[in-house]
Structure 1
Amino acid sequence: MSILSAIPVVGAIIERGLGIIDQLVEDKDQAAKLKAEFQLQAMQADYSAINAEIQAQAQIVAAEAQGQSWLQRNWRPVLMLVIVAIVANNYIIYPYLELFGVKATPLELPERMWSLMQIGVGGYVVGRSAEKVAEVFKK
């Protein structure tokens, strides 16, 4: 169904609503139409909420990019570089140091930081692609 149904409370409410339609409407075709309309309304509400959140996040990133401070403009790329440095240490530098007998310690990279890096890199790739597509449409 929708992302809203992935939230246990909201999903339960939607399922109850669909169950109530089944109980109150005897005509199966009419019940199916009402259930489809109910699900459509839930998905539209879900889409509106997600779209509003994405727009708010985009405004925050745009405001940061136009900020006066170097740190304000660059903290996200710096964070990505730190995470990439940890990954490079753990998968490139550390194995070679161990191979040559140098005592080294791998750096811990929590799962959430790994996910953050994937989102950051993915967002950068998507953002650059969108910029290129926008340039094509402007012409």
Structure 2
Amino acid sequence: MIWKFLTSAIKPVTDLVDDLYTSDEERLVLKNELAKIESKMGLKLLDYEKQLLSAQSNIIVAEAQDGSWLQKSWRPIITMLVFLALVVAGSFSWLGTPLALQAWTLLQIGLGVMWWVVALRK
């Protein structure tokens, strides 16, 4: 997305260079300089994305290594509890439309996996 923004920001400049009433040699020099600027911006963008991915990776590793089982697993637990609440609300017709059978299947699979994870941790 950022790459598209950068190229779309530079394209009007390159089009302007084409429209200038200069010699072919001057146009080529200007286009060369613009290409150098674009490549430098691209390298900086790649470096930024590399640092961002590294920071995200470090956060995930830190979350996985520290704390108790509950602290590591609260997101899937909350997700399964939300699915359970939706299924209960659907069975009492509290929702506007009935839940699909896939919601039941997803809840069964999720609770089964959570049960196995808890059983293996003991």
Superposition TM-score, scaled by structure 2 size:
0.51
Question: For each residue in 1:14-69, what CA deviation from the matched residue of structure 2 results, as whole angstroms up to 9, or x when unmatched?
Answer: 549x46x947x961222222111111111111111111111101101001101122
Paired residue for 2:93, among 97, 100, 103? Answer: 103
Question: For each residue in 1:70-104, what CA deviation from the matched residue of structure 2 results, as whole angstroms up to 9, or x when unmatched?
Answer: 23211333344456x27x74xxx84xx5xxxx532
Give the RMSD, CA atoms, in angstroms.
3.7
Unaligned runs of 5+ in 2: 98-122
1:70 counterpart letter in structure 2: W
2:50 counterpart residue number: 51
Equivalent residues in 2 for 1:126-137 (5 A)? none
Question: Take 1:39 and 1:82, find their aligned partners in 2: how far apart are those partners?
Answer: 49
* SS of equivalent residue, structure 1 residue 105: coil
Question: Which one has the largest radius of gyration?
Answer: 2
Unaligned runs of 5+ in 1: 108-139
Structure 1 residues 62 and 50, CA gap change in structure 2 (3 angstroms): same
Percent identity of paired positions between Structure 1 and Structure 2: 19
Question: Take 2:78 and 2:32, find their aligned partners in 1: how far apart are those partners?
Answer: 49
**Preserved CA contact (<8 Å) 1:65 1:74:** no
Question: Take 1:78 and 1:106, find their aligned partners in 2: how far apart are those partners?
Answer: 25
